Amino acid sequence: MKKPVFLITSLIGALFIGSCTSYTDKDYGPVSFETAFEDGDDMLFEGPNEAIVTIPFTPEEFDIKKETVGGMKLQSITLNTNFPGGFGVFENLKVEVSSDNTSSLTIGVMNEVPNGNVITIEGLESAKIEKFNTVDEFYLQIEGNLKEDLDEVFDVFGEFTLSVESSEE
> What band does 169 get if pLDDT is binned at 50, 70 and 90?
low
Strand partners, 97: 105, 140
The pLDDT value given to residue 160: 98
DSSP-H helix ranges across the chain:
2-19
Cβ pair 77, 33 in contact under 8 A: no
> What band does 70 get if pLDDT is binned at 50, 70 and 90?
confident
List phi, psi (to 5°) of 13.
Answer: -60, -45
**Mean pLDDT across 45-56:** 95
> What band does 81 get if pLDDT is binned at 50, 70 and 90?
very high
Cβ pair 64, 166 in contact under 8 A: yes
Cβ pair 23, 167 in contact under 8 A: yes
pLDDT averaged over every residue in the chain: 87
Name the region of 158 (left: φ>0; alpha: ψ -120 to 50; beta: rest). Answer: left
pLDDT digit string, tens, across residues 83-99: 998 999 999 999 999 99
CA 167 – CA 67 distance, rounded (Å): 9
> DSSP of 67-89, one letter per residue?
GGEEEEEEEEEEEE---TTGGGG
**What residues contact 127, with CB distance under 8 A and at least 6 apart?**
73, 74, 105, 106, 107, 108
Q: Residue 15: is its pLDDT beyond 70?
A: no
The pLDDT value given to residue 11: 47
The pLDDT value given to residue 101: 86
> What band does 6 get if pLDDT is binned at 50, 70 and 90?
low
Which candidate, 121, 39, 110, 118, places its Cα nearest to that of 73? 121
The pLDDT value given to residue 10: 54
Which candidate, 70, 69, 167, 74, places its Cα nearest to that of 125? 74
Q: How many Å is the Cα radius of gyration of the chain?
A: 21
**Mean pLDDT across 153-159:** 96
